[in-house]
Amino acid sequence: MPRHIRILILLCLCTFTSVLAQNRPDPSEFSVKEHYTKYEYRIPMRDGVHLFTSVYVPKDTSRAYPFLIDRTPYSVAPYGVDQYREHLGPSPEFDAAGYIFVFQDVRGRYMSEGTFVEMRPHIDDKKSSKDVDDASDLYDTIDWLLKNVPNNNGNAGIWGISYPGFYTSASIIDSHPALKAASPQAPMTNLFMGDDAYHGGAFMLAANFGFYAFFKPQENPQLPPKGPSPFEFGTKDGYEFYLNVGPIGNLSKLLDGKSWLFDDQMRHDTYDDYWKVRNLAPHMKNIHCAVLTVGGWFDAEDLQGPFTTFHSIDKNNPDIFNALVVGPWVHGGWARYDGDHLGRVEFAANTGDFYRKNILFPFFEQYLKGKTDAKLPKAYVFETGTNVWRRYSAWPPKGAEQKTLYFHANGELSFDAPSDSSSFDEYVSDPAHPVPFVNYQSVSVPQEYMLSDQRFAATRTDVLTYETPVLQEDVTITGPISPRLFVSTSGTDSDFDVKLIDVYPNDYPDSKLDAIKPEDRSKPRTDVGPPSFTMAGYQQLVRGEPFRGKFRHSFEKPEAFTPGKVEEINATFQDINHTFRRGHRIMVQVQSSWFPLTDRNPQTFVNIPDAKPSDFVKATERVYHSKTQPSGIVVEVSNPGAEEEKR
């Protein structure tokens, strides 16, 4: 069974909170059943719908406890008052400290009544009790809990990762007076603008099909869940599988007639009203609780969501505590792993344990129990390259200098603008032979791809490579990166995928992870990826994103290219906080396919979900780097020591 399917099934059955963290104590050290009593309720909402809710109440009644809520579409299993979870809180500290833990199936999922709606739109102006959304559902839930669960201290908090992260964000709008703290973690915020569904207008193919192959509409809501059947790819090679499928519209036929959730994602391939009403950012208002948004630099699913959420809350709710935490983690990895490495790239510390003990736990203790001030900064972010936690008073940090890494002839890259009167590079992009996103077989989206070795791509004739000389000083880049390309194509549409890369020195030591036997690698999402190889000259992906050219002027109204006409593309990619060390090089690669991470662009201006095989054609792509057409990447170069907040 593919790795990502195994993991998603586990999440579906148990939610993120029941996945064991590596550092958690042996269950014999702390027994949930010994210290908590479980209750199950069907809590009424204002429109008469009842939401199934499991509540774990401390047996110790010598003090009152706050509620800590997790709302999920993945089931609050196990069901039955005699069936207990092994762990309750985001980390072992919560279980021992004592909270009233609340787990709720959202509308239309598993044991809850109502109709499930993908990323249910928020209703700003509720005119009657029939106008319900996740904010009203949490409000009604907290109201009921305060009145019906004894020994509570009158305070409530909420947290969740990924889809439960979205439910956290959506639920705190117009917040209940008793809601004092919230932590949306990897929250989906705008699926078309950089979260799960589309990046730069390109469909995130393998991740979406892999997810919706098991996350399907429920046939029998309000019944205990059965484990979903894994999708049979019939091969270990996702590149081969998706190429043989042909146009992506054919994928719907493989989902047993239960494909409308996948079809919604695939067929709404412009920024239309379907996506606009599901964009949570404009609605993040009237939030009266403290918020700690969490993300991971190597989150392949929802890296953009935390930044969009953080900035939206900041803009609309200036009077609350609102902070951001970003570490060197994969999707949800901060809750489960040590976070000391990803693939063969090492981070030199147990970053996951540090976060759980020193950031998340003190945050909830302060705002739900009135404990000591956690003294958290506005932005607590991990700096890759140097492997240092940084505390900032703003994100991105203040005082950074905007510079451009310019492309030059002969594959050169520098902060100096080109002076040539006419200069370009070109390559032929062939949809029948797209550039792979990893150089090993996988039907999933391995999290390791987020920093995987790009040497295999640099050798291809359909990938352009630009590289600086060896750096004489450290270069730290913070915040979003913004490619600015001058391009032309012989087709009428093309993708332009840009990758920012850290090239290691030729004397860089090999990773100690190569000595780990495969059978001893117990972390399925942080395994070392491909077979052993030397780290000398490693080309570490720092940030890479696709951009679909037809959206160069608007994501709402795509436009065809005029073959041979030079046009400008301006894009903004997700944030980084990375130091390119002295002795390393900075590299940029440009290509026009990244398969099957994204769907193939036919390179003719067509509606891609309805494309025919004959629509897929070769195209000659040109990237210009002259004085009047200076392609490059705009970055923010900072001085971390000068800008870091002092304790």
**Following DSSP, what letter does each residue of 436-452 receive, concatenated?**
BSSSS--SS--GGGGG-
pLDDT at 517: 46
pLDDT at 4: 42
pLDDT at 590: 98
Asked if the domains at 3-190+278-376 and 401-640 fall in one CATH topology, the answer is no
**Are the beta carbons of 385 and 502 closer than 8 angstroms?**
yes
CA distance 1 to 443: 10
pLDDT at 519: 43
pLDDT at 512: 75
Classify domain 401-640 by CATH number.
2.60.120.260
pLDDT at 227: 64
* Non-local CB neighbours of 60 within 8 Å, separated by 6+ positions: 35, 98
CA 425 to chain centre: 33
Residues of the chain with pLDDT under 70: 1-28, 219-228, 514-532, 646-647
- Topology of domain 3-190+278-376, per CATH? Rossmann fold (3.40.50)
pLDDT at 214: 82
pLDDT at 529: 60
pLDDT at 220: 61
CA distance 146 to 136: 15
Please state the domain extents for the chain: 3-190+278-376, 401-640
CA distance 205 to 216: 17
In single-letter form, the type of residue at position 312 comes to S
CA angle 384, 389, 395 (to 5 degrees): 85
pTM over 0.85: yes
